[in-house]
Amino acid sequence: MAELVEVTDPTHPLLADFVALVDPATRRQVERRGGYFVVEGVLAIERLLGLPRWSVRSLALLPKVAERLAPALAGCAAPVAVAEADVLREVVGFDIHRGALASVARTAPRPLAELVPSTGLVLVAEGVNDHENLGALYRNAAAFGVAAVLIDPTSADPFYRRSVRVSLGNVLAVPTGALPALPGGLHELHALGVTTVALTPRADVDLRDLDRRALGGGPVAVVVGAEGPGLTGAALAAAHHRVSIPMASGVDSLNVSTAAAVALHHLSG
């Protein structure tokens, strides 16, 4: 059972991991240097506590949230700071409406060969630097049974607080891999037997005309790029297939997470 500690002092050591959450640049530096990341929100923390592979360093909860999470905390060994809203506000720099924070130890990325399934889907992100879009990609990946999300060096940190929250904790459930910069990363996937399908509005092939069975029985990677610029020319050239999603006249593209959801749904059938 987790140790619940009533905290009234914002400088209490149990709250140290949550200082200045409102400053993204500072938080990215602090968390990576400290080897941890922060999960925010009751739903995401409930998901976290149900995944034993993650090591929780500490939690900070409002009293009412600590009561709600009591069953989930039964198997948690991490200390829990229980504090009122004004104390948490002073620590993090904004109002914690959700009233739930957890600090989680980072783990080393797994090798690509361990993440690529013998069949099924993976999702590749190039240059997706918006944390909310990245979190939404993970939520969609979980919904369509994607084996792993592979992130290139120019994408945002999927374990940043906003990404984890938007994903509803699915960043913690769907395995993450670090992919070398594209097109090199795609070449590595090809060497592992992965067929790559790149999404781009400029493709001449309609996604609906791409039959999953025609791609063979091996793994397939859906490759998406940043909102606006999309995939780089080198990444598009390296992919086995380039497909577009047909849309009404006057609309040229979808949000990256929406486009990925459409493609994953089509290819998961």
Q: Alpha helices, DSSP H only, in the chain?
A: 24-34, 42-49, 63-68, 70-73, 85-92, 112-115, 131-143, 161-166, 170-173, 184-191, 233-238, 256-268
pLDDT for residue 32 is more than 80: no
β-partners of residue 126 are: 225
Residue 76 or residue 224, greater confidence = 224
Regarding whether 135 and 211 lie in a shared domain, the answer is yes
> End-to-end CA distance of the chain, in Å?
43
Q: Write out the residue range of the structural domain in which residue 120 sits.
A: 112-268
| Number of compact structural domains in the chain | 2
- The pLDDT confidence band at residue 75, using thresholds 50, 70 and 90, is confident
Regarding whether 142 and 93 lie in a shared domain, the answer is no
Regarding whether 135 and 91 lie in a shared domain, the answer is no
pLDDT for residue 253 is more than 80: no
Q: Which domain-ending residue is among 105, 121, 144? A: 105
Give the pLDDT confidence of 175-203 residue by residue, as tens digits.
999 999 999 999 999 999 999 999 999 89
The average confidence (pLDDT) of the chain is: 92
Regarding whether 121 and 81 lie in a shared domain, the answer is no
Regarding whether 178 and 218 lie in a shared domain, the answer is yes
Regarding whether 223 and 142 lie in a shared domain, the answer is yes
What is the chain's Cα-based Rg? 20
Q: What integer is the mean pLDDT of 239-243?
A: 96
Q: What is the CATH number of the domain that holds 145?
A: 3.40.1280.10
Regarding whether 31 and 161 lie in a shared domain, the answer is no
pLDDT for residue 25 is more than 80: no
Please give the structure tokens belonging to residue 15: 């709250």
Contacts for 263 with CB less than 8 Å, ≥ 6 apart? 197, 199, 207, 222, 224, 243, 245
Q: Which domain-ending residue is among 89, 105, 121? A: 105
Query: From CA 10, how far away is CA 1, in angstroms rounded?
Result: 24
pLDDT for residue 78 is more than 90: yes
Q: What is the CATH number of the domain that holds 29?
A: 3.30.1330.30
Q: Which residue has the tokens 């063979």?
A: 216
With contact defined as beta carbons under 8 Å apart, do 183 and 236 qualify?
Answer: no
Residue 167 or residue 228, greater confidence = 167
Give the pLDDT confidence of 34-68 residue by residue, as tens digits.
899 999 999 999 999 999 899 999 999 999 999 99
If 0-12 CB within 10 Å is exposed, 13-18 middle and 19+ buried, where does residue 221 land?
buried
Regarding whether 18 and 85 lie in a shared domain, the answer is yes
Give the pLDDT confidence of 120-138 residue by residue, as tens digits.
999 999 999 999 999 999 9
pLDDT for residue 1 is more than 70: no
Regarding whether 63 and 146 lie in a shared domain, the answer is no
Regarding whether 165 and 97 lie in a shared domain, the answer is no
In this structure, are strands 4-6 and 205-206 parallel, antiparallel, or unpaired? unpaired
What kind and span of H or E run contains 125?
strand 120-126
The pLDDT of residue 20: 80
